[in-house]
Amino acid sequence: LIYDVVTRWNSTYYMIERLIEEKDPITACLQEKEFQKKLIKANVPTSIEWDLQVQLKSTLKPFETATRQLALASLPTISKVLPVVTGLLTSLEPSSFDPQTIQKLKDTLRSALKSRLKKVLLVMSVAKRL
């Protein structure tokens, strides 16, 4: 499995992606009696929880893509950053088809992104008008 690294935006995405890829072996392992003896409580994720992981992966995919795009440029310019930030903000618009958990996550991520990029968004807004 892959672990999350708090300093890398896309590590959570890769962790969830690997978790989904390894669903069958993980489920089989958690159901084994020998494994259960070693754990205080080993709950096998429900189908709803696995579905949520798939939706979470889909929600985080734009961050993984953005990270890769910006990492390709040695010095990302405003012309690169603007479409990436706009794409991220657009991808975080909640859909009526999103479960409530994903809607809340999108709202939280959108607010956090806007807060962290407040100055960049201001510069981009001024640059558009020039």
In a domain, 45, yes or no: yes
Average confidence (pLDDT) over 14-19: 96
pLDDT value at residue 112: 93
pLDDT value at residue 39: 66
Sign of CA dihedral 10, 15, 21, 23: negative
In a domain, 3, yes or no: no
Angle subtended at Cα 14 by Cα 12 and Cα 19, rounded to the nearest 5 degrees: 95
The number of domains in the chain is 1
Segment 85-98, tens digit of pLDDT = 889 999 999 999 99
Top-confidence residue, 17 or 124: 17
In a domain, 6, yes or no: no
In a domain, 24, yes or no: yes
In a domain, 2, yes or no: no
Which range of residues forms the domain containing residue 99?
11-129
Amino acid at 120: V
Segment 53-81, tens digit of pLDDT = 999 999 999 999 998 888 887 777 777 88
